Structure 1
Amino acid sequence: MSNAKRVAIVGVFSALAFVIMFVEFPIFPAVNFLKYDPSDILALLISFIYSPIMGILVLAIKDILFYIFKSGDIVGIAMNFVAGFLFVYPTALIYSRKGRMREILGYVVGITAATGGMALLNILVVPLYWKVPLSTVFALLPWIIGFNAIKFTIDSVVNYIIHGRVAKILEPNKERL
């Protein structure tokens, strides 16, 4: 596949991921500022089909676009990028050798990395950003951990179901392993 075609695909998937970021809803109504959006699925798809780096590029582009056109919240969008990175990169890196067992292992590692990493990042960032005591963050921590575990599990299940089909469309000569 030509580099131009890959660049075009990354551009299209980044734009789609940006649009999908607007489809958001809280998983836990008690903490409605934690909103699920399925945009990281597109980055994971590209990571599985092409490479982890291309998936990270999709994450970066969709987050930059969202920052410019909607949020204006650099801390929130940076945390969104870190969460996506912590999930997509290890998942795709482990899967890069293909196979269902490696794929499942990749999901488990990615979910764990993103959930644990975001718990730690929230402990470090939220008291400074929201100007709240650390005790407030610790009170929210079970919600944050649960949210990220659910979010990235949903992303994993959806990717597990669709990535083989999408790979066949984007690279018709490539067989699914």
Structure 2
Amino acid sequence: MSVSSTPSNQHGNSSHSTGSGDHGRWSTRRIAMYALFVALAMAVSFIEIPLMPAAPWLKYDPSGIVCILAAFAFGPSGAAIVSVLGFVPHLFVNPLGALMAILVALGASLPVAFIFRKHPTRAGAVTGILVGAVVALAAAIIGNLFITPLYAHMTMQQVAMLIVPVLLPFNLIKFAINGIVSFLCYKPICSLLNRQG
């Protein structure tokens, strides 16, 4: 991907900025890269690992990492495309769960994309990940309150009682894993995309 000149000049760190994915015409290569990230998000979304025995419907999958990396590499448009299309297969199996997964993925990835585009540094990356985690956590809690009762045969009050002992720790672990892995991987992936651009 080509480097956005304005942020790079301001921070002197062009290797961190691939936010130009949101500018200019849509090239065949860009579409292919988006498709690759969408396919990867789809594939890993089927890796489901239950973390909380008290809530077996809560399962961790690494798709959030792919969405965040797309935010770093391609900016807001890439983050949105991967976060939505990456869960399309689940819409046919569990539409309500897929809807909640999309909301959480957007909440985690879009703040990263917007913040990192303006501040393409390690500090900007960390800030984006942290803000995204907070937004995604709010989306996850609200989504569980309103969506989980529709398919898990639980009342909203029962779900609310699980917020502190189950939902918060599960999501904190999930976002910690996604954030750490994304932070460790974003720079080499962005550099690789830049070299190929």
Scaled by the length of structure 1, the TM-score of the pair is 0.88
Give the distance between the partners of 1:173 and 1:34, measured in 2 at CA. Answer: 38
In the other structure, the counterpart of 1:170 is: 193
In the other structure, the counterpart of 1:86 is: 107
For structure 2, which runs of at least 5 residues remain unmatched after alignment? Answer: 2-25
**113-122 vs 11-20, which deviates more?**
113-122
Deviation track 1:119-165 (CA, whole Å, cap 9, x = no partner) reads 12222233344453222111221211221221112111001101111
Alignment of 1:87-166 (within 5 A): 87-97=108-118, 98-142=120-164, 143-166=166-189
Instruction: Tell me, yes or no, if the aligned pair for 1:43 and 1:59 is still in contact at 8 Å.
Output: yes
* Corresponding residue SS for 1:31: coil
The structure having more radius of gyration, on CA atoms, is 2
Structure 1 runs (4+) deviating above 4 angstroms are none
Q: 1:152 to 1:9 in 2, by over 3 A?
A: same
How many residues matched?
171
Q: Which residue, 88, 94, 97 being the options, matches 1:73?
A: 94
* Corresponding residue SS for 2:130: helix
Give the distance between the partners of 2:149 and 2:87, measured in 1 at CA. Answer: 23
* Corresponding residue SS for 1:30: coil
* Corresponding residue SS for 2:138: helix
CA displacement at 1:116 relative to structure 2: 1.7
In the other structure, the counterpart of 1:28 is: 52
**117-126 vs 15-24, which deviates more?**
117-126
For structure 1, which runs of at least 5 residues remain unmatched after alignment? Answer: none
- Write the letter of the residue equivalent to 2:158: T
Instruction: Tell me, yes or no, if the aligned pair for 2:45 and 2:61 is still in contact at 8 Å.
Output: yes
Instruction: Tell me, yes or no, if the aligned pair for 1:25 and 1:37 is still in contact at 8 Å.
Output: yes
Alignment of 1:33-48 (within 5 A): 33-48=57-72
**2:80 corresponds to 1:59:** no
CA displacement at 1:29 relative to structure 2: 2.4
Instruction: Tell me, yes or no, if the aligned pair for 1:116 and 1:145 is still in contact at 8 Å.
Output: no
Q: CA RMSD in A?
A: 1.8
Give the distance between the partners of 1:40 and 1:19, measured in 2 at CA. Answer: 12
- Higher RCO (Cα < 8 Å, 6 or more apart): 2
CA displacement at 1:102 relative to structure 2: 1.6
